[in-house]
Chain A
């Protein structure tokens, strides 16, 4: 899941963020893969581009780690779909990853916002 260059104004996902977004999306309740992709796009105000192939591989990876579980079911418009839901282990991971991510963004923000950052000094 490397970030892929895209030629529209949507941003490709950063490495490692897809897992967190999937977990977050599933907090709302069980959902199928296509639903997860749509929700991520909608909640990011259509900024994120989700590569669907990568999404399914990510779902599989999370399932292998037992953070989410899956079973076949029927969607709201009566189509067969594979529904994913968060396991207790997944919930723990979500909390941990969320706080990790928040610390990361805060740190990034501190560096990028400061006018006398080390990046500017050398310029």
Chain B
């Protein structure tokens, strides 16, 4: 029985009633009133003992004691609400940081992708390359030649023009091979999913599967959707089913909304790569058979890749396969994401540790204030354990309240993050809806944190000698020689905060460099429009005509300085590359190549529109056609690598097919795939020599235009395209800068996260330093007054009162900066050119710390300097 309904008072009342009844009976039997009363009492025995037994019987005594401790803790907090509030807020922020980071880590990395038996689903990857791209024949070879997988599938994320009810919408989806839905293992929400027969040969079936969100939003949840016909890239397809709610594909960063058979690739895209071994286009996911072990699988993959390499030495010479966890494009995003999140989690833990050190210091100071009270408690018979329990109860109340606030904060933040779609042409969203298990994590962290800072004053309590404390009037003899625990805590805390501040500055500096870095083109005042003409049924010849027509119309729009187009633009993630061979090469196997270069097909005028400086030679021209010799404009790095000199105009090289290409121009180097890449070689071909419907249209407007006017231009361009052909689904039409969002995404996220941690670290060090400095001054006010009365100078007073504080601050800062520099090496993977050896970073960190140190001791210093000895000594 936990809580008895009957109170101890009621029981006492009953005993009182008994004694009266008994006395009355005894009186009736002839005793005098006093005798009767006395006898009734004697007959009853020990009333107190009965009451005590009644009290003890119904409950767990320790629980009762604990309840008292908690009530005491709440009373303590109510007595100093400022302290309680600061402590709870500090902890709430510290814990929230950890819960949020853990939530993201859990969703992106720890938790498998959201399919049945996800532990059996893996992604095929290359051993020596992080980007897990394969050609379809490679995947087919693995599929047909293994004994360890129950399914092997290829998928290619692709944007489709889906026409339903007369409207064409660009929808992100995937071309999937026949075993795709076997591998993911989901059951359809409606109808059926794609099967092996759908993907048997090109044109085997014109079936498509919708995702649940697309069915809900684009088809307004039509229950009769199965059997309806839509047009995908102008081809009629029948919707055969809808995937279950929550299925987003096998990549965690996005949502795929439509699935079509990969066999129909050529008719959908207008280019045929399905049978080409040198055209890696697809991801591959596999499902392991029950009981297949990783060594077994790896051995088999090695056998298969050796066999493929032997059979196709020209294309597959270096093929070597492995498996990796799915969800983040294999190790391409996975590895940096793991590294980054581990780093951020480390920082979050540091912040929490600093918060605990902060609170531990405050607790130690408070316990020192209570030393007389604690001594009295111990003197009159309280056990030290009991006092410790009180302190722990207070620590726990604070930490659990802090944890509760943290959970609310984390929930809001994660829900916001899950709803957030970074500006990008890709369907990026984060599947990081917070899970209830996070509350447990939060609670666990809070209890651990509470125990950590609650343990700080333990030593003080155990060494309390009641005799001493009461004799010396409760003011601990302040020798001023020994270092108290709280001093060490402060130094540790300053050091930890310093790490976060250094990290913040390093990433801020890295971001500012990334933003001002020379990318080889100028994305300002440019409208970038992307569309696929093959989605509207254009042949390459028709596409070429359309593009030229559009260029002419758009060039006449008001405010347009220059316009051009290409297959794609640098830093847009869908870059293609090809092997480059020297002119004299005859054997075109990959190991004979000179290097690998990014390739772009561009229209004349592209370099001036993109403001990529043309350094030598000529631009591509409309007179370069499929009938004239192949030419290319290359960047400086290309020329350097091939000829070891900048003088390349007029010279030749060969591509993987052995075609000889003349270099007609040199352009400045730039960034092509990511901001952190080393300088890459790049070749630009005239788009008129390889016409394609894949179009990125760049339009440079007047540099005096504001963003709003530039946006008006975007609207005008959309109208021009619509007027020319309303069937073309425009995927993206906005400023180039905004489309580079994805490129700056990681450094921005890193900077925001690290900046928050840095700010929080600073806040902690301010409160910690301020708290301890003012505590020290107030404790020693009496001593300082005597010094002042005896004629001490301001300098002496300062060094006496806060000298030790300054030593602590300096030591903590130096250690922290060293740690921060060491930790910043981890950042260099995400933040471009992140380095802590940068003098500007070091100076900013030092200055910031100096400033916060000065700010936080200013008040206590004032107080120490303005001691009025007469007043203080009179008071005491």
The answer on a CB contact under 8 Å between A79 and B50 is no
The answer on a CB contact under 8 Å between B18 and A56 is yes
The answer on a CB contact under 8 Å between B54 and A60 is yes
The answer on a CB contact under 8 Å between A53 and B47 is yes
A80 an interface residue at 8 Å Cβ cutoff? yes
Set B6, B43, B57, B58: member contacting A52, Cβ < 8 A: B43
Set B13, B22, B24, B50: member contacting A57, Cβ < 8 A: B50
Give Cα A53 to B44, complex, Å.
6
Which residues between 62 and 111 of chain A lie within 8 Å of chain B, taking CB atoms? Answer: 63-64, 75, 77, 79-82
Set A32, A53, A64: member contacting B17, Cβ < 8 A: A32
The answer on a CB contact under 8 Å between B1 and A64 is yes
Q: A53-B46, A53-B47 are in contact. Are A33 and B24 (CB under 8 A)?
A: no
> Chain B contacts of A37 at CB under 8 A?
22
Give Cα A37 to B22, complex, Å.
10
> Chain A contacts of B45 at CB under 8 A?
51-53
Q: A34-B22, A77-B24, A79-B20 are in contact. Are A56 and B6 (CB under 8 A)?
A: no
Q: A57-B54, A77-B24 are in contact. Are A82 and B17 (CB under 8 A)?
A: yes
Give Cα A34 to B36, complex, Å.
14
B21 an interface residue at 8 Å Cβ cutoff? yes
B218 an interface residue at 8 Å Cβ cutoff? no
B627 an interface residue at 8 Å Cβ cutoff? no
The answer on a CB contact under 8 Å between B21 and A56 is no
The answer on a CB contact under 8 Å between B46 and A38 is no
Number of interface residues of A (CB under 8 A): 22
> Chain A contacts of B20 at CB under 8 A?
79
Residue of A nearest to B48 (CB): A53
Set B21, B47, B57: member contacting A81, Cβ < 8 A: B21
Which residues between 1 and 36 of chain B lie within 8 Å of chain A, taking CB atoms? Answer: 1, 4, 6, 11, 13-15, 17-18, 20-22, 24-25
The answer on a CB contact under 8 Å between B17 and A79 is yes
A23-67: CB near B (< 8 Å → 1, else 0) gives: 000000000111101100000000000011110110011011000
**A-B CB contacts (within 8 Å), total count:** 61
Set B4, B21, B57: member contacting A32, Cβ < 8 A: B21
B862 an interface residue at 8 Å Cβ cutoff? no
Closest Cβ of chain A to B47, distance in Å, is 7
The answer on a CB contact under 8 Å between A53 and B24 is no
The answer on a CB contact under 8 Å between B17 and A80 is yes
> Chain B contacts of A82 at CB under 8 A?
13-14, 17
Give Cα A63 to B47, complex, Å.
20
B53 an interface residue at 8 Å Cβ cutoff? yes
Residue of A nearest to B23 (CB): A34
> Chain A contacts of B25 at CB under 8 A?
34, 38
Name 7 extra pairs, CB < 8 A, besides A37-B22, A52-B45: A32-B21, A33-B18, A34-B17, A53-B47, A64-B1, A79-B17, A79-B21
The answer on a CB contact under 8 Å between B21 and A34 is yes
- 20 of the cross-chain contacts (CB-CB < 8 Å) are A32-B18, A33-B14, A34-B21, A35-B21, A37-B22, A38-B25, A52-B18, A52-B44, A53-B50, A54-B50, A56-B50, A57-B50, A60-B57, A61-B57, A64-B1, A77-B24, A79-B24, A81-B21, A82-B13, A82-B14
Closest Cβ of chain A to B420, distance in Å, is 57
Give Cα A35 to B24, complex, Å.
12
> Chain B contacts of A53 at CB under 8 A?
44-47, 49-50, 53
> Chain A contacts of B49 at CB under 8 A?
53
Residue of A nearest to B17 (CB): A81
Give Cα A32 to B45, complex, Å.
18
Give Cα A63 to B58, complex, Å.
12
> Chain B contacts of A60 at CB under 8 A?
6, 11, 54, 57
Closest Cβ of chain A to B59, distance in Å, is 12
Give Cα A56 to B58, complex, Å.
14
By CB atoms of chain A within 10 A, which of B17, B20, B49 has the most?
Answer: B17
> Chain B contacts of A75 at CB under 8 A?
21
Give Cα A51 to B50, complex, Å.
10
Q: A77-B24, A79-B21 are in contact. Are A56 and B43 (CB under 8 A)?
A: no
Give Cα A37 to B45, complex, Å.
13
Residue of A nearest to B15 (CB): A56
B37-75: CB near A (< 8 Å → 1, else 0) gives: 000000111110110011001100000000000000000
> Chain B contacts of A52 at CB under 8 A?
18, 22, 43-45, 50
Residue of B nearest to A38 (CB): B25
> Chain B contacts of A32 at CB under 8 A?
17-18, 21
Give Cα A49 to B45, complex, Å.
12
> Chain B contacts of A64 at CB under 8 A?
1, 4, 58
